[in-house]
Structure 1
Amino acid sequence: MAETAGELGEASESTTVVVIGAGPAGLTVGNLLRRSGVDCVVLERQTRDHVAQRQRAGIVETRAVRMFDAWGLADRVLGGVPSEGILEFRVDGESHLVSDGDGSEGLGARICPQQVLVQKLTDTFLADGGDLRFEAADISLNDLTGERPTVRYRTADGGLRSISCAFVAGCDGDHGISRTAVPDGVLTAHAFDHDIGWLTVLADAPPPTYPLLAISEQGFAAHFPRGPYTSRYYLQCPPDDDPEAWSDERVWDALRTRLGDPVLGSGPITDREIFRLRSLVHDPMQYGRLFLVGDAAHIVSPMGGKGMNLALYDADVFARAVADFVRDGDESALRGYSERCLRRVWNDQEFSHWLTRTVHDAGDDSRCGPFERNLARARLDRLFTSPAAARSFAELMTGMD
């Protein structure tokens, strides 16, 4: 990219796509565009170390694994270990193992913490000659409805730069600048508050044999692997609870009670926070030449592990649409981007909502009452006893079209 002197002393460049955000969505977009021969620049406001250490999702679902494999990237970007495809539900201490295998052939889900995926996506993008710029401050998106939008930002040393592009991929999450660049009234926000809080705890403690969801009259709890020696735990709590009220002793006592495991191994707690379960969808996912990808467009309740995987789906759809345009001048996939992605978004929102309600309503009936509790228990019993219900659950868990 040749640089020219722009207005206000800016250094000006041009590219095909500017990607805002270097999380899983942005880095996947960047890597897929590179594989398609499409030039792009990825801008990230944080440092590389900060991005590489963000602890989030831990499962790359079957559909996403096969997507990376189709692009020839699975071996390079997926760390962790293959999932055994088993999810354990523990209801009042009684274990029920449910498979997420849908009978299809090919690679399956991968247990891969977000920070591992991000580090590998970063290494791959840079090794393939990608242009990734950290500490990009004061990013602004301009002329999004014109033929050539301009992205302006300030470098770490204070220099001003502007990049002219054909498209902008907004991959900077729910609180990023991409969605706020869309004028009021253009997007419709569909929001839902589950009125449920989770205390999330990261600890240097042995992971479970299988990802575990536990239901009891004391409330919901979960135990997930985050590496060979690290675990992520979740405890249902009031959404406005104070994490400082949860001492280490209280955390481990609650986990042993709710998980039905009085000898649960403990370890140093390295992080704890409380967050409110919520769901949000913005429609459409496009404004002019700006395309919203991942959390910038939608937030999903964490039940079912759909948030990061939806972002990877969006990234795949967007990269293929841009490649069609650059290669053949075909804009049909770009025009259909929002509709196609939102079909998947609402499907996964429904599954996540169903699972959220089921595992929380089936526990302490002071939250919803005995009628809803018994309905949720009936849904769980059907899942454990009906092969048809188990197959439907597996299909939704794998994320296959």
Structure 2
Amino acid sequence: MDVLVVGAGLAGLQTARLLASQGFDVLVCERRSSLDIGIRTTGIFVRRTFEDFALPDRYLGPAVRRVLLYPPSLRAPVELVSSRDEFRVGDMAGIYSQALSETRLAGARVRLGVSYPLKDVKARFTIGADGARSTVARRLGLDVNRHLIIGAEKVFPVSTSAPTFHCVLDPRLAPGYLAWLVDDGQQAHVGLAGLPDRLAAPLPRLLRSFLGGFPNMPTPTGPIHRRGGPIPVGGVLRRIVCPDGLLVGDAAGAVSPLTAGGLDPCMRMSELAAAVTGDYLRTGNTSVLRHYDGTTLRARFRVRLVLRNALSHVRAPAVAEAAFKLLRTPLGRAAAARVFFGDGSFPDA
């Protein structure tokens, strides 16, 4: 067999589909028995992603153009409004289901409910798409994520009329990150994440506190789904490829250090991974692997890594409140709009 892909998230399925389309013998293994369980991502797609990739529109919610940024006091939020559709929240179970079908149609085999390593499988090349705490990375001797935040989220149906992305910067709730409510008029995604060694309480308790204290919380109209897990925020890892395999998605640290968005990076990095892997398997030339260079990709995120470090040092609510005085200035609003609405994203492959 040519390629074993470990993990059937978006990164793994897209990489497998692209390699199978090139004619390679590809097997995907996934420890979950069904892709609609154990979903960790919030499913927030940014504008550049749904403009550049053929995502299934029927699984994308209404567009969100409005962002409200709240200080710990929840008073006088900063409002940002874009003239373009900036965010759409995906029904990830549906998106995974379609990606799985397309991967199989391309010729790849997919085995669910199977954990790595597989004793009965020998592959020329292994691709780790197995999440932030990648087993493949350790077995191949590649870099592993060491800077992680831990998140928890609840998703429930709602019926509202003003799609809005609410963000709360409060180090008591979400140290080193933020709490969020993405309400697109059909679903509300409510969650928070933070540095695990600085969380004031277990995540479920903090999430209940947020749900009970946020004034703009919509009323659920149906059952609640729960998600959660680790999110790498240390930037793309430096060593993500070797002659025996490579890493994609969260396993490679392909997540924005500042916003913790990982869907756009996983889509773009998967294209590069498939191209490099295909060239390497056809030629056997290890110099091809230099095109998949984590250090080069990491260099594109210097500013975001600096901002990540600054955010991680905000420990007191008073500091966050003071920062909002700057955010309310024209320069502060422009900087915030650049973060939320800017055209910058993960580097093109």
Q: TM-score band (shorter)?
A: 0.7 to 0.9
Question: What is the CA–CA distance in structure 2 between the aligned matches of 1:221 and 1:382, rounded to whole Å?
Answer: 24
How far is the alpha carbon of 1:322 from its aligned partner? 2.6
Partner of 2:187: 230
2:168 paired residue among 179, 193, 214? 214
| Mapped partners of 1:332, 1:23: distance in 2 | 28
Contact 1:53–1:115 (CA<8 Å) still a contact in 2? no
Q: Deviations over 1:214-262 (max 9, x none)?
A: 357986542114x7643111257861513564696x5543122xxxx3x
Question: In the alignment, is the contact (CA less than 8 A) between 2:148 and 2:233 conserved in 1?
Answer: yes
369 and 181 in structure 1: CA distance in 2 versus 1, 3 angstrom threshold: same
Counterpart for residue 127 of structure 1: 105
User: CA offset at residue 346 of structure 1?
Assistant: 5.4
State the Cα distance separating 1:115 from its structure 2 match: 2.7
2:123 to 155, 158, 164: 164
What residue in structure 2 maps to residue 354 of structure 1? 307
State the AA in 2 paired with 1:255: F
Residue 27 of structure 1, CA deviation:
0.4
Q: Counterparts in 2 of 1:310-321, with a 5 A limit?
A: 310-321=265-276
- The question of whether the paired residues in 2 share the 8 Å contact of 1:59 and 1:305 is answered with no
Helix, strand or coil at the partner of 2:130: coil
Tell me, in whole angstroms, the C-alpha distance in 1 between the residues paired with 2:151 and 2:180: 10
Partner of 2:199: 239
The two structures, once aligned, show a CA RMSD in angstroms of 4.1
Instruction: Work out which of the residue numbers 41, 44, 51 in structure 1 matches 2:27.
Output: 41
SS of residue in 1 equivalent to 2:293: helix
Give distance in 1, aligned partners of 2:203 and 2:338: 38
The reply to whether residue 395 of structure 1 matches residue 342 of structure 2 is yes
Match of 1:204 among 148, 157, 172: 157
- SS of residue paired to 1:57: coil
Cα distance in structure 2, aligned partners of 1:205 and 1:356: 35
Q: 1:22 to 1:276 in 2, by over 3 A?
A: closer
Which of 322, 327, 333 is equivalent to 1:374? 322
CA contact (8 A) 1:23 1:51 kept: no
Partners of 2:67 and 2:165 within 8 A in 1: yes
Q: In the superposition, relative to structure 1, how do residues 350 and 368 fare at CA in structure 2: closer, same or farther (>3 Å)?
A: farther
Q: Name the structure 1 match of 2:41.
A: 56
Amino acid in the other structure paired with 2:341: A
With over 3 angstroms needed to count, the CA separation of the structure-2 counterparts of 1:96 and 1:163, relative to structure 1, is: same
Equivalent in the alignment of 1:116: 94
Instruction: Report how many residues are paired.
Output: 336
State the alpha-carbon separation in 2 of the partners of residues 122 and 246 from structure 1: 35
| TM-score, normalization by structure 2 | 0.75
Q: Is the 8 A contact 2:257 2:308 kept in 1?
A: no
Equivalent residue, structure 2, for 1:29: 15
CA distance in 1, matches of 2:230, 2:109: 36
Please tell me whether the aligned partners of residues 151 and 231 of structure 2 are also in contact (alpha carbons under 8 angstroms): yes
Match in the other structure for 1:175: 133
Amino acid at match of 1:368: A
Question: Quick one: distance in 2 between partners of 1:335 and 1:204?
Answer: 46
| CA positional deviation for 1:316 | 1.0
Matched, 1:80 2:60: yes
Q: Distance in 1 between matches of 2:264 and 2:172?
A: 31
Choose the corresponding residue for 2:80, options 80, 89, 97: 97
Contact 2:32 2:38 in 1 (8 A): no
Once residues 302 and 83 of structure 2 are traced to their aligned partners in structure 1, the CA distance between those partners, rounded to angstroms, is 18
Matching residue's letter, 1:79: Y
User: For structure 2, which runs of at least 5 residues remain unmatched after alignment?
Assistant: none
| 8 Å CA contact 2:155, 2:189 repeated in 1 | yes
Instruction: Find the aligned partners of 1:84 and 1:369 in 2 and give their Cα distance.
Output: 28
Q: Using the TM superposition, give the Cα deviation of residue 181 of structure 1 relative to its aligned residue in structure 2, in angstroms.
A: 0.1
Supply the distance in 1 between the matched residues of 2:62 and 2:186 (Cα, whole angstroms).
16
Q: Secondary structure of the equivalent of 1:234?
A: strand
The one of 273, 287, 292 equivalent to 1:337 is: 292
**Separation of aligned partners in 2, 1:136 and 1:321:** 26
Aligned to 1:158: none
Q: Look up the SS of the partner of 1:115 in the other structure.
A: helix
1:295 lines up with 2:243 in the alignment? no
- 1:304–1:352 CA contact under 8 A, matched in 2: no
Alpha-carbon shift at residue 57 of structure 1 (Å) = 2.8
Which is higher, the Rg of structure 1 or of structure 2?
1
Tell me which moved more, 289-298 or 111-120. 111-120
**Distance apart, 1:51 and its partner CA:** 4.9
Q: CA deviation at 1:300?
A: 4.3
Instruction: Calculate percent identity across the aligned residue pairs.
Output: 18
Q: Shift of residue 78 of structure 1? A: 7.6
1:322 to 2:270 alignment: no
